[in-house]
């Protein structure tokens, strides 16, 4: 069942809910699976071998655990995230727990300066045309989004395609440096040739 988000636009005094459905390559193009069978037509399963060279374990046989300096297991709920300066990082609430305020609009350049992580289709079951009406002028809304409670916060964009279908795009800022022909520089060949690599071919 698709999860539901609540949005509010203070400038338009509008609030609406929308169900989100993730768009992935499988839904767009389908997928191909390769299966292996033994001489008895039994399906083979991929297994891994432990470091002892003898123990085999299949899917689900690996788990992640955290231990302290004394070798004792620590529950995930006991862990506290800190930054490089040792300060405690404040946890962000899940965006599913309250309204997402759409108070900032973004330009196309803002959107293109981010790397796309996930794409979600939005559908308003109560009024399917409501979202299309809000985004019909090509407005792009930006907001912070956290799928679950934690320290990871993505930059979300709410926009529509040329058919008016609404989408939520989750992104991260991209560190892109644009160069023109005038900005490009070549390698300094003379500097490379002058470097002494310390090899004396006469001694080989």
Q: What domains can you pick out in the chain, each with its CATH number?
A: 1-24+74-176 (2.40.290.10)
- Distances in Å between the Cα of 131 and the Cα atoms of 20, 27, 144, 161 are 13, 23, 19, 12
Whole-number Å distance between alpha carbons of 177 and 179: 6
- Distances in Å between the Cα of 122 and the Cα atoms of 37, 84, 93, 129 are 41, 37, 21, 11
The pLDDT assigned to 185 comes to: 57
The pLDDT assigned to 125 comes to: 61
Q: What percent of the chain has pLDDT over 90?
A: 29
List of residues 6+ apart from 136 with CB closer than 8 A: 160, 164
* 66-85 per-position pLDDT tens digit: 888 888 888 877 888 888 88
**Is pLDDT of 57 > 90?**
no
Q: Which residue has the higher pLDDT, 95 or 71?
A: 95
List of residues 6+ apart from 174 with CB closer than 8 A: 113, 114, 115
pTM comes to 0.67
* 124-164 per-position pLDDT tens digit: 767 767 778 888 888 999 999 999 888 889 999 999 998 88
Q: Identify the CA nearest to 94 among candidates 144, 161, 40, 155.
A: 144
pLDDT-based confidence at residue 3 (cuts at 50, 70, 90): confident
């Amino acid at each position: 069942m698709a999860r539901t988000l609540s949005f509010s636009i203070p400038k338009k005094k509008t609030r609406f809910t929308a169900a989100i459905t993730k768009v992935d390559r499988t839904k767009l193009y389908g997928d191909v699976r390769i299966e292996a069978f033994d001489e008895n037509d039994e399906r083979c399963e991929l297994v891994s071998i432990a470091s002892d060279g003898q123990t085999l374990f299949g899917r689900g046989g690996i788990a992640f655990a955290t231990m302290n300096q004394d070798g004792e297991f620590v529950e995930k709920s006991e862990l506290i995230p800190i930054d490089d300066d040792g300060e405690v990082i404040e946890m962000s609430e899940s965006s599913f727990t309250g309204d997402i305020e759409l108070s900032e609009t973004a330009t196309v350049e803002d959107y293109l300066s981010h790397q796309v992580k996930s794409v979600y289709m939005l559908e308003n079951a109560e009024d399917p045309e409501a979202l299309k009406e809000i985004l019909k002028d090509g407005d792009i809304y930006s907001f912070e989004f956290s799928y679950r409670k934690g320290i990871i916060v993505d930059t979300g964009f709410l926009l529509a395609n040329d058919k008016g279908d609404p989408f939520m795009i989750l992104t991260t800022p991209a560190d892109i440096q644009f160069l023109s022909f005038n900005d490009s520089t070549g390698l300094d060949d003379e500097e490379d040739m002058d470097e002494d690599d310390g090899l004396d071919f006469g001694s080989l």
